[in-house]
């Protein structure tokens, strides 16, 4: 029973951490209330994602020493402090970047790694599904945040984005703390099996690692570029603000459902075939967004496919890392693979924001995403991973 509860707790925590995916909700408010440029809004988003990814390197090692509960509690405190300090920033770009970008980003990384490792170790025979359900909560986090923001705006139409940050800090802090009480290994076993043979320097010389890194980077570059800019992208296509908000929810829905579905698909047909299908879906959606989507229905469907295609990155590479390096090293190795997410989170959204500020169009950034995703898919297809070598 404990292992099932741990998955539920992981999903609950991920639901809060995943609010990062609804960042584009704040973009119009920051522009209107404080005069931010598109690049500034995407710099905050990129900082959050980078700190999220890199903090997992340290939180993964810490989890093996003190256990997932304590690490997740640290994450909850950092997340709360990030939103709270942002609410006191007065709209200053540097302060919000440090609060939301650094504190919330690191807090997210500390919570996220625990919510991956615990379900995977409690369900060794169904790692794909268990991980998929957990990260599905992360994908759904944007839906929760969007509804909370919408509710607050209905109650108080002129509400400041800073007041929203403060409210989110309280909500997320309390929910994550509650979830950590149930974030345990079945039978209350040891936090992890310590493996002394792991060396990051050896990992960085491993061809398998770079195949995973570059392929994950390519998919995340495209997905995070759309996630960070989905609302302004839809508005730039001359659709209504309501349609843009709905697209945030649709993207989040695809991101959430996709993570669970890809977990099931991986357990059935394996990672390789799943990756080819997922990246094909993502490429189709990106091309459609530039050349075909000319109605609200078509844009919504295309955005849904982006969410489904991108969501595979959060499941496929976790599963492949466990397959290559073993579940016992997963908590340490995967954060290095996940650094691809951090770099993609910097370049994807910022490139899109910069080019939009210059050209007032998202056509070129999306086209760049098509090329980079195709490049990553080619790397994975033409460079087969050697499991025997790694073992």
Residue 136 has a pLDDT of 77
330, 268 Cβ separation under 8 angstroms: no
- Candidates 43, 29, 37; CA nearest to 228 is 43
- The per-residue pLDDT string of the chain (391 residues; one tens digit each, 9 = 90 and over) reads 778 888 888 889 998 998 888 888 898 899 999 999 988 998 999 899 999 988 988 887 888 888 888 999 999 999 999 999 999 999 999 999 999 999 999 999 999 888 888 887 778 777 667 777 777 788 788 888 888 888 898 888 889 999 999 999 999 999 999 999 888 877 644 444 444 456 677 888 889 999 999 999 999 999 999 988 888 888 888 888 888 888 888 998 898 888 888 888 988 898 899 999 999 999 999 999 888 877 888 999 999 999 999 999 988 998 898 888 887 777 788 889 989 988 998 888 888 888 888 888 889 999 999 999 999 999 999 887 765 444 4
Q: How far apart are CA 344 and CA 322, in angstroms?
A: 22
Q: What's the pTM value of the predicted model, to 2 decimals?
A: 0.78
Residue 190 has a pLDDT of 47
Secondary structure string (H, E, C) spanning 134-193: HHHHHHHHHHHHHHHHHHHHHHCCCCCHHHHHHHHHHHHHHHHHHHHCCCCCHHHCCCCC
- 362 — phi, psi (to 5°)? -100, 10
| DSSP-based three-state secondary structure for 89 | coil
303, 250 Cβ separation under 8 angstroms: yes
DSSP 100: I
* Helix (H) or strand (E) segment spanning residue 282: helix 271-291
The structure tokens listed for 239 are 């659709």
Residue 359 has a pLDDT of 84
Domain ranges of the chain: 2-183+200-390
- Candidates 98, 141, 138, 83; CA nearest to 114 is 138
The structure tokens listed for 169 are 């800090």
User: CA neighbours within 13 Å on the CB side: how many for 187?
Assistant: 6
Q: How far apart are CA 304 and CA 176, in angstroms?
A: 28
Residue 194 has a pLDDT of 46
233, 226 Cβ separation under 8 angstroms: yes
Residue 127 has a pLDDT of 66
114, 137 Cβ separation under 8 angstroms: no
The structure tokens listed for 153 are 């705006």
- Find tokens 């076993």 and name the residue: 189
53, 107 Cβ separation under 8 angstroms: no
Q: Which residues, 6 or more positions from 84, have their beta carbon under 8 angstroms from its beta carbon?
A: 99, 165, 166, 169
The crossing angle, in degrees rounded to 10, of helices 241-269 and 296-311 is 40
Sign of CA dihedral 199, 191, 388, 312: negative
Q: How far apart are CA 129 and CA 136, in angstroms?
A: 10
The structure tokens listed for 15 are 């639901």
173, 76 Cβ separation under 8 angstroms: yes
Q: Which residues, 6 or more positions from 272, have their beta carbon under 8 angstroms from its beta carbon?
A: 380
Query: Which class for 31: exposed (0-12), middle (13-18), buried (19 or more C-beta within 10 A)?
Result: middle
Q: Which CATH number fits domain 2-183+200-390: 1.20.120.160, 3.40.190.80, 3.30.565.10, 1.20.1250.20?
A: 1.20.1250.20
Secondary structure string (H, E, C) spanning 218-260: HHHHHHHHHHHHHHHHHHHCCCCHHHHHHHHHHHHHHHHHHHH
Measure Cα distances from 85 to 14, 23, 46, 162, 165 in Å: 22, 17, 19, 9, 9
Q: How far apart are CA 331 and CA 132, in angstroms?
A: 16
């Amino acid at each position: 029973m404990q292992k099932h509860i741990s998955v539920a707790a992981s999903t609950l925590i991920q639901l809060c951490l995943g609010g990062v995916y609804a960042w584009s909700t704040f973009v119009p408010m920051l522009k209107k209330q404080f005069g931010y440029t598109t690049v500034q809004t995407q710099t905050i988003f990129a900082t959050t994602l980078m700190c999220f990814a890199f903090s997992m390197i340290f939180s993964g090692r810490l989890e093996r020493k003190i256990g997932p509960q304590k690490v997740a509690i640290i994450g909850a405190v950092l997340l709360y402090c990030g939103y709270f300090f942002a609410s006191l920033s007065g709209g200053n770009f540097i302060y919000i970047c440090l609060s939301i970008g650094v504190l919330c980003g690191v807090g997210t990384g500390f919570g996220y790694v625990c919510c991956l490792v615990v379900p995977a170790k409690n369900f060794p025979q169904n790692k794909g599904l268990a991980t998929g359900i957990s990260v599905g909560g992360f994908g759904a986090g944007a839906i929760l945040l969007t509804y909370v923001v919408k509710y607050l705006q209905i109650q108080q139409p002129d509400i400041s984005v800073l007041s929203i940050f403060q409210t989110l800090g309280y909500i997320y802090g309390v929910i994550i703390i509650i979830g950590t009480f149930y974030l345990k290994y079945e039978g209350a076993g040891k936090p992890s099996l310590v493996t002394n043979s792991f060396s990051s320097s050896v990992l960085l010389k491993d061809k398998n690692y770079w195949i995973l890194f570059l392929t994950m980077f390519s998919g995340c570059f495209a997905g995070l570029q759309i996630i960070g800019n989905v609302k302004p992208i839809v508005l730039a296509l001359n659709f209504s603000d309501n349609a843009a908000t709905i697209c945030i929810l649709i993207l989040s829905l695809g991101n959430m459902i996709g993570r669970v579905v890809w977990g099931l698909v991986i357990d059935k047909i394996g990672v390789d075939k799943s990756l080819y299908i997922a990246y094909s879906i993502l490429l189709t959606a990106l091309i459609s967004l530039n050349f075909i989507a000319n109605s609200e229905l078509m844009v919504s469907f295309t955005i849904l496919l982006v969410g489904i295609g991108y969501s595979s990155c959060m499941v496929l590479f976790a599963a492949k890392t466990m397959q290559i390096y073993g579940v016992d090293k997963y908590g340490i190795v995967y954060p290095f693979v996940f650094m691809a997410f951090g770099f993609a989170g910097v370049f994807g959204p910022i490139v899109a924001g910069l080019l939009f500020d210059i050209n007032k169009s998202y056509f070129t950034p999306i086209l760049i995403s098509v090329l980079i995703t195709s490049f990553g898919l080619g790397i994975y297809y033409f460079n087969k991973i050697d499991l025997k070598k790694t073992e």
